[in-house]
């Protein structure tokens, strides 16, 4: 039966992964996600899985690659600079069609940056930080319940598309506590059942019809082109099937915010405050960042909307996608804080009013 408990974000992420059937976790300490590897080291071994502390994020992502190539259900987590190191593995796994669920509890950057919440990994997450033509489905929860549900489902999506899937949270979500309803424990895929359930996985060829190899080298350009085109058939399907978003109060809205993750929580509060001041505001909340919900912008109220504002913990990285969605139909603007600063709802209200005044001039 499902149960409701009060949990810290990072621990809830780990619990959701275990309940989602993850048997293998490879991690490396980095703030603000340290409670994920700590939780996994406490829990996974006694619940039929294995925790390994890797020597680096590079090693962690490659251990994940190996374990998932061998048919294991694998979860990894890190934070921004660590995810930069993992890009090698993301590219290789996308190329070799290896399913892994990765979590980035992101912080401010660039460089070492800071350890406070940030969304400046938007490009890194959605544009493919590794080399080559590939995509990673990216989901961005704004509550711990949504994070738990997204992680739980991500394993099925990763397996279906045979591709890595990323959950992009931020340090605020990793560190806060919220009540969550935990889903039921999924059946774990045992090592002896891998060969029959995942015939492509590496198990040794004994008893198999065909020897499996996991490759990403294609020396002949025409063969490589064909392999990439095959990946993109998958990505085109994902663009249709994995688009997720919510809209709030778009009808009659003067201002439409676009916000994900922690920012969407603060924008919700700012919308109420603006409403009390007679300014009707709506919100598009992307839940999938790749594929991006461009179609959501078609729901904006053409009669009333004066401006669409990308609201982010980064310097307008998502604004590029907002502009694609808006497609010249409304003016766009940006409200941001970066470096690990999370704005208050009052700050968003004040900035919004200034933007609206600016439009009158």
Partner 1 sequence: MKPVFEITRGMLPTDTSYCPGCAHGIAHRIIMETLVEMGQLENTIGVTPIGCSIVSHEFMNVEMCESAHGRAPAIASGIRRVHPDKMVFTYQGDGDLASIGAGEIVHAAHRGEKFTTFFINNGIYGMTGGQMAPTTLIGQKATTAPEGRDPELTGWPLRVAEMLATIPGAVFVERVALNSPANVMKAKKVIRKAPEIQQKKLGFTFVEILSTCPTNWGKTPIEACKWIDEKVIPYYPLGNLRTPEEA
Q: Which residues of the shown chain bind partner 1 in the complex (CB under 8 A)?
A: 23-24, 26, 50, 52, 54-56, 58-60, 62-72, 74, 88-89, 92, 96, 191, 194, 202-207, 211-217
d(CA 12, CA 181): 10
DSSP 185: P
| Distances 108 to 120, 313, 322 between C-alpha atoms, Å | 6, 8, 21
| Token pair 């004040």: residue | 350
Question: CA-CA-CA-CA torsion for 194, 198, 203, 205, nearest 10 degrees?
Answer: 130
Supply φ then ψ for residue 160, to 5 degrees.
-65, -45
Please identify, using beta-carbon distances, which residue of 123 and 205 lies nearer to partner 1: 205
- Nearest approach in angstroms of CB 4 to partner 1 is 33
Please identify, using beta-carbon distances, which residue of 211 and 360 lies nearer to partner 1: 211
Which residues face 309 on adjacent strands? 257, 333
d(CA 284, CA 296): 7
Please give the distance of CA 331 from its chain centroid, rounded to a whole number: 28
Please identify, using beta-carbon distances, which residue of 55 and 184 lies nearer to partner 1: 55
- Nearest approach in angstroms of CB 197 to partner 1 is 13
- Nearest approach in angstroms of CB 226 to partner 1 is 18
Query: 63, exposed or middle or buried, with CB in 10 Å at 0-12, 13-18, 19+?
Result: buried
- Nearest approach in angstroms of CB 204 to partner 1 is 4
Please identify, using beta-carbon distances, which residue of 59 and 176 lies nearer to partner 1: 59
- Nearest approach in angstroms of CB 152 to partner 1 is 21
Please identify, using beta-carbon distances, which residue of 53 and 345 lies nearer to partner 1: 53
């Amino acid at each position: 039966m499902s149960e409701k408990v009060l949990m810290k974000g990072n621990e809830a992420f780990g619990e959701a992964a275990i309940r989602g059937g993850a048997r293998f976790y490879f991690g490396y300490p980095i703030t603000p996600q340290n409670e994920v590897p700590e939780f996994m080291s406490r829990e996974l071994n006694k619940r039929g899985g294995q925790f390994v502390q890797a020597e680096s994020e590079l090693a962690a992502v490659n251990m994940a690659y190996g374990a998932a190539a061998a048919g294991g259900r694998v979860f990894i987590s890190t934070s921004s600079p660590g995810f930069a190191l993992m890009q090698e593995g993301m590219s290789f796994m996308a190329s070799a069609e290896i399913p892994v669920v990765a979590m980035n509890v992101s912080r401010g950057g660039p460089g070492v940056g800071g350890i406070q919440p940030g969304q400046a990994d938007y490009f890194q997450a959605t544009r493919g930080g590794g080399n080559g033509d590939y995509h990673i489905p990216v989901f961005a929860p704004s509550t711990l319940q949504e994070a738990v549900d997204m992680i739980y489902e991500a394993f099925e999506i990763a397996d279906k598309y045979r591709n890595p899937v990323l959950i992009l949270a931020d340090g605020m979500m990793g560190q806060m506590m919220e009540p969550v309803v935990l889903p039921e424990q999924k059946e774990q895929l045992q090592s002896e059942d891998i060969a029959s359930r995942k015939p492509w996985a590496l198990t040794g060829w004994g008893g198999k019809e065909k020897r499996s190899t996991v490759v990403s080298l294609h020396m002949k350009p025409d063969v490589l082109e064909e392999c990439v085109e095959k990946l993109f058939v998958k990505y085109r399907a994902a663009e249709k099937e994995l688009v997720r978003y919510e809209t709030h109060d778009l009808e009659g809205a003067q201002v439409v915010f676009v916000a994900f993750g922690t920012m969407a929580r603060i924008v919700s509060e700012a919308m109420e405050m603006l409403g009390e001041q007679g300014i009707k505001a709506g919100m598009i909340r992307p839940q999938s960042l790749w594929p991006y919900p461009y179609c959501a912008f078609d729901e904006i109220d053409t009669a009333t909307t004066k401006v669409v504002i990308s609201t982010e913990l980064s310097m307008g990285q998502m604004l590029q996608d907002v502009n694609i969605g808006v497609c010249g139909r409304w003016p766009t603007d940006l409200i941001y804080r970066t470096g690990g600063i999370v704005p208050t709802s009052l700050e968003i209200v004040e900035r919004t009013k200034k933007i609206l005044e600016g439009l009158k001039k």
